[in-house]
Structure 1
Amino acid sequence: MSYKDKLAENQEKRAKQAEQAKRDAKRAKIRTEQQTREAADKKNANPNDKKAVEKAAKEAIKEAKLAKKIAENVKDLPKESDAAAKEAANVADATKKEEDREFSNDMNNLADETTGNVKEAEQLADSAQRTADEARKIAELPVDPPKDKKG
């Protein structure tokens, strides 16, 4: 396998990972919204049944955290994709071959696609978090204190 083939294969893997992350974050966001609606419905149906409302709200919060984790796991992909695209551009500049220019363009397009999908996954995660905050308010749950990260 040539160097260019390996570079392209890795670039395609990153693009697919970012696309999958976007889909997964979207699913988590949708589940967050569903659980938030469920919490609101349960509270409206029976305001005294705090346990059912809290359970739905906690599920919404869990889904939002999942969406955030999904986005966090792919946050470095755009940097890696851009570096690979830059490498392909350097090869094209050095060789002045048309096929290398086309390869460079393909690598750039995949890098742009990767960046777009990662940004969209981050936006979906942020939206899910806002929805989970609504669920938290509906269930009157306290905000989670920030956790100390131990290195």
Structure 2
Amino acid sequence: MAEFRVDLPDAAATQQLGQRLGELCPPGTALLLAGDLGMGKTTLVQGIGAGLGIAEPISSPTFTLINEYLEGRIPLYHVDLYRLEPEQVGSLELESYWEAIDIAPGLLAIEWSERMLDYPASALRLRLENLPSGGRRATLTAVGEEQIVLLEQVIGDGLLADEV
């Protein structure tokens, strides 16, 4: 397991991080997004969509729970659990998305993932939080060598990151 920290001074940097994830994540990637309200989780997913080549506007599925974007390099499945309690999340059958059961393997981005009681052990974790000096910090946690290499590629092009 490895943890990387990336400072994001503004929304454009958050989108850039998302775009790199969209460009480089392989099919079957589950990305667990955590952070307080207004931290930039949806902005990050908009960047992921741009990196996947999705032209359709990406908005938070707060009321629909899951938005599917199928026209990119790989599908994007965008989930928002904000309105659910942890015991309600279990009934959503989200494992269909990370196990690619009856759907095309794609990138699964789950906002408010901390409300999940069960999630794939191999998921990438990304937490966004405010910096005292302004901007945000993304802490990315990788499980396994393939994910570590992936995150090194994601942050390697001009994004400043510290490996912890």
Pairwise same-fold verdict (TM > 0.5): no
**Greater helix fraction, Structure 1 or Structure 2:** 1
**Greater strand fraction, Structure 1 or Structure 2:** 2
The TM-score range, normalised by the shorter chain, is under 0.3
Normalised by the length of structure 2, the TM-score is: 0.20
Give the number of the structure whose alpha-carbon radius of gyration is greater. 1
